[in-house]
Structure 1
C-alpha cells in the first residue's frame, strides 16, 4: 500500500502539474502497465523500464530518468509527460493500475505533433501486440524528497566529432580487436559530479589520493574499465560505488570490485548486458591503487593482507585485473566516462562465449609463440563464400599477418588455438573464431599477399595509436 501523500509535497520538473494529472497520480493504485503516446497510439514501456517507474511510484518519486537508446529521458508521472533532456521534446505518458483502472491525460501529444489531440482510449494495444518501444539501455530512479530531480544523472553528452569524443573513442578502440571500429561507438558521456552527494564522494576520493600519495610516496593512480550491467553502471553514476555495487564474491582473486587496465576494455565486454537494440555500455574509472598486492588464483581474500598494501592485482609485472577491496570503494574509484557501443550479433556472441580472460590461471603474458602450435589438418578460411588459402598451415597464416595485427588479436588467436589443441574447440570452431578476430577486410588485405610483400601494419593507423593520458 502506497503511503498517503498530497500535492503539497510533490513537484513536477516541467512546472506545476494540472489538477487533473495530480488527481490521477494521487488516486491511482500501483501501475501494472505504463505507456507513452507515439504517432497516435499508446505503446507499452519495456518491462525493465516499467519496473523502475513503478518503483519510483511506490517510493513517491514521480520523476524518474531512463536511458532511451543513448538519450536521457525524464518520465514524469505527476505531469503525465516524458521529455528528452537533450532535444527538450515531449510526449504524453499514461498508465493502468493493478485494479485495471486507466489513467490517461485528457489531451495527448508526442514529440512530432504540433497540436495535442483528443485522447482515444481504444488505441491502447494489448501488451502481446504492442509495438516494442526502443529498448532502454538502462534506467535508474533520480530525485527524492520535495525537490525536483536534476535534469541529468551527473553526466554530460560529448558531441561526436569533438576532440574529447575522439580522444575517448580512441582509448576504447585501442583495447578492442580491429574488427571493432568507430561505427560501433554510439555515444560517450562524461561524469560531472554536480549534486551534493556526488561532490562529497569526489572530495573523499581526492582525500584518499592525497593520503595514499603521502603514505606510499606514489598513489599509483591509474585508469581502468569497469564492465557490468548498464543499470548498475548508471546507478553508480547516481549513488557511487559504495552503496550500489556488490563485490564479486568467490571470483578468482577474492571478493572485491574488479577492473581491467586501460588498454584491455575487450576483456570486460562479456560483463556488459545487452539491451533490445544490441547496445552495451562500459565505465572508465580513475583508480587509486597504492601498493598492489599480487593475489593468487583461488584466493578468498577480501581486504589487504597487511598495512603494507592497498589493493590487489593478478600480476604486478603485466597486470590484467585490478581488485579494489570492498571497504569504502568510493574513496578509491572515481567514475569518469561512460562509453555506449553496439556490436554485430555474431561479435556479441563471440565476446560472451569468450572465457573470462581476467581470471585465467595461466594467462598469456608475452608475445605468443605460434611456431609451437599445430593447426587442423586443413586450415580452411571461408570469407563471404570464398575460400582463402584453403590448405594454408596456421603458422604460415600467422607469419603473413603478424605485422598487421595488434597484441590483443595475437592473444585471442593464440588462446583459441590452445583451446583447439586441448580439445576444447573443433577445427571448424577455431576457423570461425579466427575469422571473427581478424575480420574480413584484414584477412583479404594480408593473406592474399606473398610473405615478402609488406603492407602498412594496422598499428600505423593513427586512429589506433595510444593517447598519452586521459583528460
Structure 2
C-alpha cells in the first residue's frame, strides 16, 4: 500500500501473506504445515512459542524500550484469533490498521511497513518473548529488554521437537492489507464516501469525526471471482426484473467481522441475524441512515469505530412483517426483504444470496465524542425493533403530557418552554433524521412520564403534609358566647 494514499493498487510480490488453520492433534498443536508468517519466514523458536502456548491472557508490543499492553478491544480480537487457530490477524489501533502475526511475534503497520515485536503471557502465566525485540521507529533490533514484565520465555519447559516446518505456498486468502487502499482526504472518492456517511448522520456529526476511509480494491483470485459473481448477478437481475435496484447501504459490526468480510466475503464471514424483527438474514441500512448502524460498531480503546459501505443488489423488494421467521424469499417474485417499501429503515439480504448480492465498497473509520457515542448506543437496535417509528406528525399536533418543559440554554431557570412549542419552532430548521430522533425522544420521554407517579398528586400530597393545621374560626351565629 502506498503510504501517501494514492490510488495505486498493491501488487502481489510473491511474499506469502496468509493465515491458515492449524491441524490439531488432541488438544495440542503439533504441526505447522501450511503456516507462514506475514512478512518473513519464522524460526523454530517462534514456532515453538506459538505451538506450546496456552490461550493468551495478556498481549504486549515493544515500544520505546518497554513492553506495552494492547488496548482491550485489540487484545480480545487477537485472543479470539488465537482461539480459532488464526496466527495472523488485522486489528485497528486508533486510525491505523495493524497486522499482528503471532507466529513471527511481529506487528506490522500496513501504511508505513514498519515492524514491532509482539509478546504474550498465557493463562498459565508462562511468558513468550522473542529473542530480539524492535519497535517501528528503530532501524535495528535491540537485545530483549522489558520495562513492564519480566521475560521468562526460556524458563518454559522445552517443547517436543517440531517435526514438520513447511512454509505455505500462498494458496490461502491474502491479509486485508492487500485488499484496501487508504484514500487521500482531497480525493473525489474520499469526498463522495464521506458525504454518504455524513448524509445519514445528525448535523452534530462533523467531517472532522471521519478519521480516514479505506477503499476495497482486491486483486487476489478469490475476491475477483466474488466480484464476477456480483457483476453477473447484477446483469441477471436487470434482465429478469427490468431494474436491478442497486443501492448503497451500510453494514455495522465489530471490527474483526468487517476484516473477515474483507478477507473472505460476506457469505463466509457473516452469520445471518437470527431472531431479528424482519426475518433471519443480513441486515443493512440505507445510505442516508448510517446513524442506525453506529450502535452495532465496536469501539476500541481510543473510541474509534468502523463501518462498512456496501453495494447491494436488492431486486424486487418484499415487505416483511415484524416478527417474521422468514429466511428466504417467499416466492420467485422477490429477491430481498425490507421493513417498509415506501420508507425503508433496513434491507434484509437472505443468507443464501449474500455472496452474490452484497459487495464491500469501503471502510469508514470514525471517532465520536463519548457523549455522542453514548447517545447513539442508547438508540434501539434497528434489527430487533418490531415497532419502528413510521409517520412523524407535525410537531404542533403532538400531545405532550402536562407540565413537560425544557430549560433553554442561556436563560433564567424559570424561563422554560413546553416541548410541543419547542418542536413546532424547530421543525423547519432541522433535518428529517434529527426530526425523527427528536420525535423518538419525545415518545420515550412520554412513556417515562406516564409510568411515573402523577407529579401534581405528589406535589399536592407534599404540600398538605407541610401545611400546619388551621383552627376553625368562630362561626358568626355561634350563640354560646365562647
Q: Which stretch of the first structure deviates more once superposed, 155-164 or 416-425?
A: 416-425
Aligned residues: 408
Of the candidates 238, 253, 257, which is equivalent to residue 263 of structure 2? 238
> In 2 relative to 1, CA 304–112 (structure 1 residues): closer, same or farther, beyond 3 Å?
same
Superposed CA deviations along residues 335-371 of structure 1, whole A, max 9, x for unmatched, are 1111122212222122121234566555444553111
Superposed CA deviations along residues 256-309 of structure 1, whole A, max 9, x for unmatched, are 111111111111222222222222221111111111111111212111111111
Q: Report whether the alignment pairs 1:290 with 2:315.
A: yes
CA distance in 2, matches of 1:151, 1:273: 18
Give the corresponding residue for 1:65.
90
Contact 1:320 1:358 in 2 (8 A): no
Question: Aligned with 1:263: secondary structure?
Answer: helix
Give the corresponding residue for 1:5.
31
Question: Aligned with 2:274: secondary structure?
Answer: strand
> In 2 relative to 1, CA 29–319 (structure 1 residues): closer, same or farther, beyond 3 Å?
closer
Of the candidates 383, 393, 398, which is equivalent to residue 423 of structure 2? 398
Give the corresponding residue for 1:443.
none
CA distance in 1, matches of 2:47, 2:449: 61
1:337-356 equivalences under 5 Å are 337-356=362-381
Q: Which stretch of the first structure deviates more once superposed, 110-119 or 188-197?
A: 110-119
Superposed CA deviations along residues 15-56 of structure 1, whole A, max 9, x for unmatched, are 344565456556656655432111221123345544554565
- The offset of 1:87, in angstroms, is 1.3
Give the corresponding residue for 2:403.
377
Question: Aligned with 2:219: secondary structure?
Answer: coil
Contact 1:380 1:387 in 2 (8 A): no
Give the corresponding residue for 2:59.
34
CA distance in 2, matches of 1:32, 1:360: 36
Of the candidates 96, 99, 109, which is equivalent to residue 134 of structure 2? 109
1:287-436 equivalences under 5 Å are 287-357=312-382, 363-366=388-391, 368-375=393-400, 377=403, 379-383=405-409, 387=412, 390-423=415-448
Q: Report whether the alignment pairs 1:257 with 2:282.
A: yes
1:173-322 equivalences under 5 Å are 173-322=198-347
CA distance in 2, matches of 1:232, 1:43: 25
Gaps of 5+ in 2: 1-26, 152-166, 453-482
Question: Aligned with 1:349: secondary structure?
Answer: helix
CA distance in 2, matches of 1:302, 1:78: 40
> In 2 relative to 1, CA 399–220 (structure 1 residues): closer, same or farther, beyond 3 Å?
same
> In 2 relative to 1, CA 118–253 (structure 1 residues): closer, same or farther, beyond 3 Å?
same
- The offset of 1:426, in angstroms, is 9.1
- The offset of 1:420, in angstroms, is 2.9
CA distance in 1, matches of 2:205, 2:450: 24
Question: Aligned with 1:34: secondary structure?
Answer: strand
Q: Report whether the alignment pairs 1:165 with 2:219.
A: no
> In 2 relative to 1, CA 57–171 (structure 1 residues): closer, same or farther, beyond 3 Å?
closer
Q: Which stretch of the first structure deviates more once superposed, 49-58 or 292-301?
A: 49-58
CA distance in 1, matches of 2:279, 2:374: 28
Structure number with larger C-alpha Rg? 2
Contact 2:251 2:308 in 1 (8 A): yes
Contact 1:43 1:124 in 2 (8 A): no
Question: TM-score, normalization: structure 2?
Answer: 0.75
Give the corresponding residue for 2:68.
43
CA distance in 2, matches of 1:332, 1:239: 15
Contact 2:54 2:124 in 1 (8 A): yes
> In 2 relative to 1, CA 101–247 (structure 1 residues): closer, same or farther, beyond 3 Å?
closer
CA distance in 1, matches of 2:450, 2:36: 59
Superposed CA deviations along residues 228-283 of structure 1, whole A, max 9, x for unmatched, are 22222221111111122121222211111111111111112222222222222211
Contact 2:281 2:351 in 1 (8 A): yes
